[in-house]
Amino acid sequence: MRLFHLEPSDTQQLAQWLQQADALVLAQGGGDVLSGTLQDLPILQNLIAQHPAAPTPEQLHAVSAALGRVLLHEQAGSEWAIVQGVHQRGYAIRRMGTLHWVSPEGALRSHLHGGARLDLRQLFASLCERLNPPAMAA
């Protein structure tokens, strides 16, 4: 896997997914809006719960982008990055100056694929731990 900085087209795509996340939340009709903070986690949890079938790729991208936005807000010293593997390319949150990164979409996809009940707060905590391994916390 290799990490890259976002290109303008990546930034534009990410902005579209974040707008889609905002639109999905508004469409659910609860009067909630996304703020990019921890208050988004229960809103996103409810959004996912309202779609018991597998989310569409667009919904998954949107929710993942919103989750990444919360990670960026809560994890100072992090940034969006592109992670490129042999068979796929995607967005990641990277701890600046390190090789520590997480993929909100990959984590969400893995959890939903496993069929377990999604606890977005627990998933968020897991992503934070992976961005901040014990050696970095000392």
pLDDT at 133: 81
Beta bridge partners, 2, equal 84
Verdict on whether the full-model pTM lies above 0.85: yes
- Residue count (the chain): 138
In the chain, what are the domains? 2-133 (1.20.120.1090)
pLDDT in tens, 82-128: 999 888 899 999 999 888 999 999 999 888 876 667 899 999 999 99
Cα Dmax for the chain = 44
Side chain identity at 27, as an amino acid letter?
A: A
pLDDT at 116: 66
Cα 2 from Cα 84, distance rounded (Å) = 5
